Chain A
């Protein structure tokens, strides 16, 4: 068995596995942010006038806002004028099959292990690939079309289904929600659009893979998911970014609308470049994700596994507006080196008999800081609302931090809200027990961490669960000292 210092060195010096860049010519917008940039993006994407107006409204809101100050980390200096707000792989030809896609692009996906090539990989996954924000290839379109399911790039949705987009865009995350959402509204480049019609159960997992490639670009995609009455969909999002010394900003927006009896399950495995061991480089992942259970008995469930990014700062939220609606949030956040995670959820109980469940598992190692911040709000109308929250933190090493900042606001006496949180380290007795059974320390830690995160990993669809487990052990093995 190697001694633990060697193992730690090994982990600390491990290169980011997905740190390669693809040499595809990209078409970039001029650096800087002003009304011209927004008009440029809108024109490039051949958008209708209403879309441009909405972007400009977002920009107006953005100009009036300032960066928040309440977060539990030092806000990095962000110069939004130094970014380029549009980068698209230069190829405008419409694609019908995978053969037409740039082979180099396909090779990139191959390296990432995305199941874009359906014959070779796991069947049943439809991937909408967002490569530097423009949707490149969409698979399984035909099959989904038969069921009336719309799964396309956001740009295409704006052109083809304007009435749907106009009806729901910005209803969950308004253009003036927060500074990053406003920025996104102004400059979003592309994203995914999903519409599941009444009574349809989407037969496969829908999946998008985000990847930041070009230098000095922010990634601003926008996702809108609508599940009509009695519909069901499970949506997967995975992210990687190549290695860059400069920090890259990722300010996405995800909006989910669930109507009567609809159910949406949204899973994320986030593995953006976390920066090197001195905290140099890495992605700033400042994302606004929110779903609304508009209909009665609807359900929205967020599951996230966060192992990447220099700073992860997001609170996937659920507004439980309909009666008997249900919201769930399952999260595993792993930080090491100088990574920072300030994440959690917000659940708003507005309707009667609404239920929510929050399970958050934080793991911090190295010099990292891992914060759970969450809000559970019970409105005066939310009779018999029920919430259960559990946040556990695991500390590995004595130079990291684990924090829990829940906010609980109850305005209804019939509601029951429970919150509990614990902080501890991996027990020496547990390691000893496993050692004694012939399992070396490194594997023992992986086993314990996997067991600790089990409750969340179980929520992931099968393909993702495998990947998430792998990520967890890669990130943490040997960190015990």
Chain B
């Protein structure tokens, strides 16, 4: 691969999916379609409204290898460091998007399928849903992913089925040189199925830069319920761009949690939920805690296409050091989506003079019998609260960490797995303490 900027390489020279010799021929037409879409959309610049606060060019200016076939390796010992204490779960390990069956505990109850997406290419359900989410159609990086992704997970839960414990998916990334890694996942819950997923990531090398461009599609059939936790914390030198696109049919429930913790250099999450059936419930919770030079950008989009749906969104940010936060949340209520209840809130805590936040909470509403609102705040924690704690003999570091934990409580309290809750509280304490001591 050439030494020129990767941004230039993918805008001009990247070869199409035809070059790829792989087992997933059944989805090759979809890949080709996505590739021509990618060519049409072009890469975003700062003038692109959706990217005005994230200069993606800057994060793509290095030379990357477009990782497609490389097989990285990890050891069980390395994986054990990525565990969440006291968490009882089925562990699924992926290396650069590839499922490692030897390191994973795949539940064998016959109702839940977990396989490589490339192995499932013949699955008609996969073909029916692959790259179909309406929001993905306008996203250049999602199109690039669909065209050239290496591999990923396919999870299918049969009707009325569920698992006795959550799935803990550990994404590990390893490469000897700068790599652009594109995993692709699809999660499909059939009628009345339920599932809990915890995703976390582990970076194994800090010499080379990894750029991860991942797409996860989620489909919830009637009355299905998914708890979806995403923990983003890896080593430095990594850049994360993700699309999570969910389609919800009638009576389904989707609870999504996004925790962005140090220290990926850049994180951009695009979360979109299309509500295609009525009486659904959507809860989107996000907490971003950024330190150093981190840039954290959360874009969320809730698309109310039909009547009688409820959506509730709460994103909170704690920005330390020179961190840069971006939040863009959009609620779109279509003309037929009467009786919609849609709420959105974004609160931010700026903990240092150099930290900053750009926020765009948006409402786009075409139906009249609805209740929609959004709120935004930014500020410091109250000096009085800090003084109160100090006057009770609590040290500055402990007091600040207590206040940040209290600020984050609205989010962490919604987590319904105690081990995960404790893990997050401890992480927040560590990062705040680290930033204060600097």
Contact = CB atoms under 8 A, between A and B. Distances in A.
Do A and B make up one complex?
yes
A401 B372 CA distance: 13
B421 to A, nearest CB: 28
A410 B378 contact: yes
Nearest to B336: A398
B338 A420 contact: no
B363 A423 contact: yes
Given A398-B369, A424-B370, A404 B379 contact: no
Contacts of B379: 415-417
Interface in B342-397: 348, 350-353, 355-380
Contacts of A408: 357-360, 376, 378
A240 B430 CA distance: 63
Given A413-B352, A421-B373, A422-B373, A407 B360 contact: yes
A5 interface: no
Given A404-B362, A425-B369, A413 B350 contact: yes
A398 B335 CA distance: 7
Interface stretch (A34-42, A206-214, A389-397, A460-468): A389-397
Nearest to B361: A406
A408 B358 CA distance: 5
Given A408-B357, A415-B378, A422-B372, A402 B365 contact: yes
A416 B378 CA distance: 6
B148 to A, nearest CB: 30
For A397, A407, A420, A423, the residue with the greatest tally of chain B CB atoms inside 10 Å of its CB is A423
A398 B364 contact: no
Nearest to A69: B49
A406 B353 contact: no
Interface string B62-97: 000000000000000000000000000000000000
A420 B376 contact: yes
Nearest to B348: A410
For A403, A410, A413, the residue with the greatest tally of chain B CB atoms inside 10 Å of its CB is A413
A337 to B, nearest CB: 16
Nearest to B338: A398
For B352, B356, B363, the residue with the greatest tally of chain A CB atoms inside 10 Å of its CB is B363
Given A70-B49, A399-B335, A405 B378 contact: no
Contacts of A159: none
A421 B378 contact: no
A27 interface: no
A397 B368 contact: yes
A269 B338 CA distance: 33
A412 interface: yes
Nearest to B373: A422
A415 B380 CA distance: 8
A417 B369 CA distance: 30
A421 B368 contact: no
Interface residues of B, number: 34
A280 interface: no
A422 B374 CA distance: 7
Given A410-B378, A420-B376, A398 B351 contact: no
Interface string B45-59: 000010000000000
A470 interface: no
Contacts of B363: 393, 402-404, 421, 423
B338 A405 contact: no
For B335, B358, B364, the residue with the greatest tally of chain A CB atoms inside 10 Å of its CB is B364
A454 interface: no
Given A413-B351, A425-B368, A405 B360 contact: yes
Interface string A418-436: 1111111100000000000
Contacts of B376: 406, 408, 417-420
Contacts of A417: 376-379
A423 B358 contact: no
Nearest to B359: A408
Contacts of A423: 363, 365, 370-373
Given A420-B374, A423-B373, A424-B370, A409 B365 contact: no
A70 B380 CA distance: 33
A414 B370 CA distance: 36
Contacts of A402: 363, 365
Interface string A92-106: 000000000000000
A411 interface: yes
Contacts of A401: 364-366
A449 interface: no
Interface in B234-254: none
A396 B368 contact: yes
Contacts of B361: 404, 406, 419, 421
Contact of B358 (A398, A409, A419): A409
A409 B356 contact: yes
Given A395-B365, A416-B379, A425-B368, A410 B356 contact: yes
A400 interface: yes
Contacts of A411: 356
B233 to A, nearest CB: 24
A398 B368 contact: yes
Nearest to B53: A409
Contacts of B360: 405-408
Contacts of A380: 353
Nearest to B332: A403
Interface string B395-428: 0000000000000000000000000000000000
A420 B375 contact: yes
Contacts of A415: 350, 378-379
A400 B376 CA distance: 25
A395 B375 CA distance: 19
Contacts of A406: 359-362, 376
A395 B371 CA distance: 11
Contacts of A419: 361, 374-377
Nearest to A422: B373
Contacts of A407: 358-360
Interface in B324-348: 335, 338, 348
A79 to B, nearest CB: 26
A473 to B, nearest CB: 20
B362 A418 contact: no
Contacts of A412: 350, 353
B408 to A, nearest CB: 18
Contacts of A416: 377-380
A478 to B, nearest CB: 16
A425 B367 CA distance: 9
B335 A393 contact: no
Contact of A418 (B352, B355, B358, B377): B377
B369 to A, nearest CB: 6
Contacts of B367: 395, 398
A422 B372 CA distance: 6
Given A411-B356, A413-B355, A420-B375, A400 B368 contact: yes
Nearest to A396: B368
A70 B360 CA distance: 15
B350 A421 contact: no
A340 to B, nearest CB: 14
A404 B358 CA distance: 16
B49 to A, nearest CB: 6
Contacts of B374: 404, 419-421
A420 B359 CA distance: 12
B371 to A, nearest CB: 6
Given A405-B362, A408-B359, A420-B374, 19 more contacts: A70-B49, A393-B363, A393-B365, A395-B370, A396-B368, A398-B335, A398-B368, A406-B359, A406-B360, A408-B358, A410-B348, A410-B358, A413-B353, A416-B379, A421-B361, A423-B371, A424-B372, A425-B369, A425-B370
13 contacts: A380-B353, A395-B368, A400-B368, A402-B363, A403-B364, A405-B360, A406-B362, A408-B358, A410-B358, A414-B380, A420-B374, A422-B372, A425-B370
Interface of B: 49, 335, 338, 348, 350-353, 355-380
The list of the 7 closest CB pairs from A to B, nearest first, reads A413-B350, A395-B368, A419-B376, A416-B379, A422-B373, A404-B363, A423-B372
